[in-house]
Amino acid sequence: MNIFEQNYENNKKQLEPLAARIRPNTLDEVIGQEHIIGKDKLLYRAIKADKLGSIILYGPPGTGKTTLAHVIACTTSAVFKQVNATIAGKQDLEKVVKNAIEDFGMYHKRTILFIDEIHRFNKSQQDYLLPFVEDGTIILIGATTENPYFEVNGALLSRSRIFELKPLSKNNIATLIERSIRVLNKDEKSDITITDEAKAFLADFSDGDARVAINAIELAYLTTDKKEDGSIVIDLKVAEECIQKRAIKYDKTGDNHYDTISAFIISMCGSNPDAALYYLARMLEAGEDIKFIARRIMIAASEEVGNADPRAIEVATSCALAVERVGMPEARIILAQAATYVACAPKSNAAYLGIEKAIDIVKKTGNLPIPMHLRDQSYKNASKLGRGVGYKYPHNYPNHYVEQQYLPDELVNTKIYELTDIGYEARLKEYFYRIGKYKK
């Protein structure tokens, strides 16, 4: 080793980001995720016994997926290989597999392959790994922030255990902040302290993401002037400066997208305008497409409100047109008006249930013959074929209604659309009683 290489090795610790420097080497040093690595849990026992099978680690950023992989690398007797799916290709996988076959054949050593951001691999790349995972050539550890049931090959999933990591608690984050300061003081030979106020602020602001808090501590150390005695104090003002804005965790194609829009729709359905506005604000702050939000409001207006308040779909449709013409930031007000209208409107899913029932009937019965009196009679000699014969024109009868068969013979008396007693549907139901369509 020449002098330059020796200096690099000596200074390597200082070159590493703080997040890498404080990363634990053993399971007992890992903070949080007790639900999967508590001492009585399967993953803990498997890692300790070095009997790990293929697993997928799934969870938000900064919850410890890479940390767990690092711990496994430090504790396993198997050969540990790591690739990042954002930059690796099929050739990288082929090289790992080739070496894994050689290591097992020559040294009887298994190979653990850690793939960070595994959801970034396309189908063919994931398919390539499948036979080698299946026959045990590779023990796969995949890490992903995306729901693996959406993004990972189903065959790979069936051969792996999925462990979901949760956002860290405020106490977990506070502990990591304290560890970060101890490591900085040791490595940098510094005297850094943090006030309780600043620590509580960072623990809350990090929103369960360890990396946010650790990066803030590192930035505070690098940018805060030392006092006369050489010490550095990270107070609330410094902590606030190191994190300018709370990052809204929201991926337009991932779990947060689907979970937030789901909560938004369910809140409107549940007649809770407060929650509807809250989830609307989260989507807007995260930069969600306003046209997408407007479309979901239109769907809810029909699916959840329907004819209990026919104006809901009018308001929602007008909202969709308006947001396209107005744009942000004013579109937030229009979306809020439509969302709160739908949330406050009387609810009926009769239209939704009706069309679902009708589709189910059609699937089961196929193209049943349409009654002859309902068939097209507009062309010459149609009556000779029986088309339209016997049809009763409703407007020629009292109340503009007359009893006659409309459904095919096989479905006579089948009830498909059930009006509720809610909102405007109650008036429609009363009208049906009045004209004689419904019998009391």
Tens-place pLDDT, residues 303-335:
999 999 999 999 999 999 999 888 888 999 999
Instruction: Establish whether the linkage from the previous residue to 329 is cis, with ω within 30° of 0.
Output: yes
More confident residue, 10 or 372: 372
Question: Do both 296 and 412 map to the same domain?
Answer: no
Element (H, E) at 116: strand 111-116
Alpha-carbon distance of 63 to 20, in angstroms, equals 14
The answer, yes or no, to whether residue 15 has pLDDT greater than 70, is no
Question: Torsions phi, psi of 158, nearest 5?
Answer: -70, -15
Looking at the domain assignment, is residue 400 inside a domain?
yes
42-56, 110-124, 232-246, 274-288: least confidently modelled range: 232-246
Question: Do both 51 and 130 map to the same domain?
Answer: yes
The domain in which residue 330 lies consists of: 255-344
Question: Do both 395 and 427 map to the same domain?
Answer: yes
Alpha-carbon distance of 303 to 365, in angstroms, equals 25
Q: What is the pLDDT of residues 72-116, one digit of tens each?
A: 999 999 999 999 998 988 899 999 999 999 999 898 899 999 999
What pLDDT score does 9 carry?
55
What pLDDT score does 82 carry?
93
Question: Do both 138 and 179 map to the same domain?
Answer: no
Alpha-carbon distance of 112 to 110, in angstroms, equals 7
Question: Do both 373 and 427 map to the same domain?
Answer: yes
Q: What is the DSSP letter of 398?
A: G
Question: Do both 210 and 182 map to the same domain?
Answer: yes
Looking at the domain assignment, is residue 174 inside a domain?
yes
What pLDDT score does 245 carry?
56
C-beta of residue 406 within 8 angstroms of C-beta of residue 371: yes
Question: Do both 65 and 151 map to the same domain?
Answer: yes
Question: Do both 236 and 270 map to the same domain?
Answer: no
The pTM of this model reads 0.63
Which one of 310, 344, 378 terminates a domain?
Answer: 344
Which one of 164, 180, 200 terminates a domain?
Answer: 164
Looking at the domain assignment, is residue 261 inside a domain?
yes
251-265, 298-312, 347-361: least confidently modelled range: 251-265
The proportion of the chain whose per-residue pLDDT surpasses 70, expressed as a percent, equals: 94
Among the listed residues 296, 345, 285, the one whose alpha carbon sits nearest the alpha carbon of residue 319: 296
The answer, yes or no, to whether residue 176 has pLDDT greater than 60, is yes
What's the number of domains the chain is made of?
4
CB-neighbour burial class of residue 440 (10 A; exposed 0-12, middle 13-18, buried 19+): exposed
Q: What is the CATH number of the domain that holds 40?
A: 3.40.50.300
Q: What is the CATH number of the domain that holds 231?
A: 1.10.8.60
The answer, yes or no, to whether residue 255 has pLDDT greater than 60, is yes
Reported confidence tier of residue 4, pLDDT bands at 50, 70, 90? low
Looking at the domain assignment, is residue 13 inside a domain?
no
Residue 315 makes CB contacts below 8 A (sequence gap 6+) with 301, 337, 338, 341, 342
Q: What is the pLDDT of residues 206-231, one digit of tens each?
A: 888 999 999 999 999 988 888 888 88
Question: Do both 151 and 56 map to the same domain?
Answer: yes
Looking at the domain assignment, is residue 250 inside a domain?
no
Question: Do both 38 and 151 map to the same domain?
Answer: yes
Q: What is the CATH number of the domain that holds 395?
A: 1.10.3710
C-beta of residue 94 within 8 angstroms of C-beta of residue 121: no
Which one of 164, 179, 206 terminates a domain?
Answer: 164
What pLDDT score does 3 carry?
64
What pLDDT score does 10 carry?
56
Question: Do both 264 and 185 map to the same domain?
Answer: no
Looking at the domain assignment, is residue 111 inside a domain?
yes
CB-neighbour burial class of residue 248 (10 A; exposed 0-12, middle 13-18, buried 19+): middle
Looking at the domain assignment, is residue 139 inside a domain?
yes
